Amino acid sequence: MSRILLAPSILSADFARLGDAVAAAERGGADLIHVDVMDGHFVPNITIGPPVVKSLKKVATVPLDVHLMITDPDRYIGAFAEAGASMISVHVEVLPHLHRTIHAIKALGAKAGVVLNPSTPVVDISEVAADVDFVLVMSVNPGFGGQSFIPRSESKVAEVRALLDSAGNKALVEIDGGIDMKTVSRVVKAGARMLVAGNAIFGTSDPERAARELKAAATAAL
Ligand code: DX5
Ligand code: ZN
């Protein structure tokens, strides 16, 4: 039974004080820092690019988990890897040559993840189940922090776990969207081991404490 990896999402942090946000998350037990990259095309919001990742890399002591919500990830994976992304995840919805992209990310020295939107079926990753380093299940429609968890995501996590197991792949399942003290144990029981949380951590007055409590609740559900 693998342990819980907590990945606080800085999307809900104060962008003028990202270094402080990373430090607080790390003091609270963050295992990764989740970085949400949005291009205003794939999702209706725009966030950050490689220069910010490069600056985060200088202050973070844990790996950066970079979630690309962009229409043309092939064009940018090199820049994000060079900026310091240890993990790069790409959406299956925009990639006709997903197998090639996964191996391109690995060739850059980063862990390769594939992401499923809530409306995307698990079967869409069946042919790459042996190739991926992790799978990210979106439990909200991507674009914004602070949205409500979509309950159907729970069985989807279990379905992805079963697919990876059948491929003999120990890759972890990550979940992203609406993870808080109410939803965390359900997704852990379903098989999620990497937990992204933005609003539940940075939407509070004490992110360090919120991270610590969320990770403890997740670990208790193992
Ligand atoms: C949503 C992003 C998430 C977001 C999660 O598009 O991919 O990583 O920050 O935020 P919460 O935890 O607030 O749902
Ligand atoms: Zn994300």
pLDDT digits (tens, 9 = 90+) for 147-179: 999 999 999 999 999 999 999 999 999 999 999
Cα(first)–Cα(last) distance of the chain, in Å?
A: 8
pTM comes to: 0.98
- pLDDT band with cut points at 50, 70 and 90 for residue 137: very high
Nearest in space to 21 (alpha carbons), one of 201, 217, 197: 201
- CB 200, CB 214: distance < 8 Å: yes
Q: How far apart are CA 112 and CA 47, in angstroms?
A: 21
For residue 36, report the distance from its CA to the centre of ligand 2, in Å. Answer: 5
Q: What does the mean pLDDT of the chain come to? A: 98
Q: How far apart are CA 171 and CA 86, in angstroms?
A: 15
Instruction: Report the amino acid identity of residue 204.
Output: T
Q: Which two tokens stand for residue 42?
A: 């794939």
Instruction: Name every protein residue with a CB atom under 6 angstroms from any ligand 1 atom.
Output: 9, 11-12, 34, 36, 67, 140, 142-147, 176-179, 196-200
Using alpha carbons, list the distances in angstroms from residue 5 to 111, 130, 200: 15, 21, 16
For residue 9, report the distance from its CA to the centre of ligand 1, in Å. Answer: 7
**Smallest CA separation from ligand 1 atom 1, residue:** 142
Nearest in space to 56 (alpha carbons), one of 36, 71, 40: 36
Instruction: Classify each residue of 163-196 as buried b or exposed e, where b means 16 or more C-beta atoms within 10 Å of its C-beta.
Output: bbeebebebbbbbbbbbbeebbebbbebbbbbbb
pLDDT digits (tens, 9 = 90+) for 93-134: 999 999 999 999 999 999 999 999 999 999 999 999 999 999
